[in-house]
Structure 1
Amino acid sequence: MTPLLMCLGMAFAYLGAFHQPTPNHLELAVVGDSPQSMVLAQTMKDKAGDGVDIITVPTREDIILIGIGLHTFLKLWTTLALITLFVMLNFTTSGGVYGPQLQNGFFGALHSFWNGADFVEGLRSLLYFDTAAGFGARLLGLFAWLAVGVVLVVVAGRHEARNAPAPVARAAVEEEIGESVAV
């Protein structure tokens, strides 16, 4: 009977949390500071209503570094890669549910350097131990992940600059628009 009640409880909890979601101060960013970006941001705000907070950021460096760096190379697969790296592996390696001593070898090994584990173990050392033993090493691990993100963004930026398409002349754009309208 208990497993059945647990299943029903989880089903109702998920239904209550995820059925017909509506934004509640959901922050969305439009990248760019051109007039077109501002018009897009205002149009989105007008259509979305009060539940969405639209902001504009001048460059893409203001967003998650590792995701930006990987997007240049992974394109459509970036979301799957980020979910795998930072959701699936963070949950299983962080030690929040089970410590590395109770995990299999793969996840136990990832626990020693993975960003979720660095965060959880760093907080654990601050909260439970007066000497903050191990906090410095965990903080260093988080800065290493930040450095990896910066390196990925630099490499991606250089790759994009090297492979950037030639700019299109304004006259060619106007001619193409005129032909599209005429059809």
Structure 2
Amino acid sequence: MEVQVSAGPHTKGALRHVLGHLLTPLLMCLGMGLAYLGAFHAPEPHDLRVDIVGSGPRAQILAQTLQDKGAGALDVRTVPDRATATAALRDRSTFGAYLPDGAAPELLVASASSDTSAMAVEKVFTKVAATQGRPLKVTDVAPVSSGDPTGQGIFFLLVALSIGSYASVAVIGGAGAVLPMRIRALLAAGMSLVVSLVGTVFAGPLFHLVDHGLGGLWAMSWLYSAGILLIGVGLHTFLKRWTTLGVMVLFVMLNFTSSGGIYRPELQPGFFGSLHAFWNGAGYVEGVRDHVYFGGHALGGNLVVLTLWLLAGVALTVTAGLTEARRSTPPTTATAPTTPTRTRAEAEAEIEEEMEEEMEEAVGV
């Protein structure tokens, strides 16, 4: 006797539930692909500032020739001497300076500003020197720490801080949903302190990404992490199970790609270059570079960026707390509510399920 089993209402409901939740990883796949491939798949220089050292006709002709051949890739200018060129590299207003000495042409770069930008400049002027039949001497006036030979360690530190921060949002927003907002905000502040301390250990004694300035690096790490956590905790009130996707869009898809940790804006499409001016990841990466390698030049602007993101998180958390207070206020009419209230066990079960879903999404990317 053959027994046929048909899908009942419970199976159909469970299937709809699973399919609904599969939408989140699909959107993550689309978002990550569009963001990372759009930002990194074909780096090309545009308006990349370089200097030709010299004031005579030879320097002027070389600068104009490179400007014309670059067709928008380079922004070529002339500076009178080596000292001026070095100062421009140290204040990060240029990415390379070429000294067209007929016997020994030399290129000055600052790899601590951006190793990939320095490599792009070196590629250009290696060809220029080759036309003279001379090897190119490259001098790095602002080298990176010996523990970070690629100059990208700060970017990977940014990744670690970001994951620790936005994964904590899933826990505080899910498991902590029954807690008052002020307690969740304190948990966020405390967790950001822990994450920033872990990041500082990574950067200093563990991997030696930087050889000085750990105090300032820790302060920027805390500002960065606290901003993410407070924004995420505040968003959870409004987005619920979509919070993980929301913070990933903000602090992974748009953040990592515009941070300048791999390619600076001069090597990226304009959209990501424009985000670099005010996004929190760029504020962190460029702020650490300014602090560690360039004597604090332009550090103030990057600290303002990080502080504004933190204040946005504070404002969003306060707004979420007020919204929750209004939602929990009992009705003032005499008529009793007719909808049945959930038991504590049911509420806790729903919160636990939501937290598990958010943690799977946060950790699984």
TM-score, normalisation: structure 1: 0.59
> Aligned residue for 2:319?
155
Distance 1:107 1:100 in 2: 7
Distance 1:176 1:93, change over 3 A: closer
TM superposition shift of 1:165: 5.8
Task: Give the alignment partner of residue 302 of structure 2, picking from 117, 138, 158.
Answer: 138
Distance change (3 Å), C-alpha of 1:162 and 1:90: same
Cα distance, 1:92 vs structure 2: 0.2
Q: CA shift at 1:93, angstroms?
A: 0.5
- In structure 2, relative to structure 1, the CA distance for the partners of 1:85 and 1:176 (3 Å cut) is closer
Matches within 5 A, 1:16-95: 31=176, 59-61=183-185, 62-63=187-188, 64-95=229-260
Residue in 1 aligned with 2:200?
Answer: none
Match of 1:97 in 2: 262
2:300 match: secondary structure: helix
The unaligned stretches of length 5 or more in structure 2 are 1-167, 189-228, 331-339, 346-365
Letter in 1 for 2:326: R
Q: 1:176 to 1:65 in 2, by over 3 A?
A: closer
CA distance in 1, matches of 2:324, 2:282: 33
Greater Cα radius of gyration, structure 1 or 2: 2
3-state SS, counterpart of residue 97 of structure 1: coil
Number of residues of Structure 1 aligned to a counterpart in Structure 2: 122
Identity of counterpart residues, as a percentage?
51
Whole-Å Cα distance in 1 between the matches of residues 312 and 272 of structure 2? 21
- In 2, distance between residues paired with 1:124 and 1:113? 16
Return the offset for 1:59: 1.2
CA distance in 1, matches of 2:232, 2:290: 29
Q: 1:116 aligns with which of 278, 281, 287?
A: 281
C-alpha distance in structure 2 between counterparts of 1:93 and 1:120, whole Å: 10
**Per the alignment, in what secondary structure is the counterpart of residue 305 of structure 2?**
helix
Task: Tell me how far apart the structure 1 counterparts of residues 274 and 304 of structure 2 sit (CA, whole Å).
Answer: 17
- Look up the equivalent residue of 2:253 and give its one-letter code: M
Aligned equivalent of 2:50: none
Deviation at 1:124, TM superposition (A): 0.8
| Structure-to-structure mapping, 1:161-176, within 5 angstroms | 161-164=325-328, 166=330
In structure 1, C-alpha distance between the alignment counterparts of 2:183 and 2:243, rounded to whole Å:
19
1 CA distance for matches of 2:248 and 2:323? 24
CA shift digits 1:115-174 (9 cap, x unpaired): 0000000011112212x11101101110100000000001111111111164xxxxx99x
Question: Which whole-Å CA distance do the structure 2 matches of 1:94 and 1:140 have between them?
Answer: 16
Over 3 Å counting, the alpha-carbon distance change for 1:176 and 1:152 in structure 2 is closer
Q: How far off its partner does 1:176 sit?
A: 10
> As a proportion of its length, which structure holds more helix?
1
Given the alignment, which residue of 271, 282, 287 partners 1:106?
A: 271
Q: Which runs of 5+ in 1 are unaligned?
A: 1-26, 35-57, 167-171, 178-183
What is the distance in 2 between the residues matched to 1:106 and 1:118?
17
Distance 1:164 1:68 in 2: 18
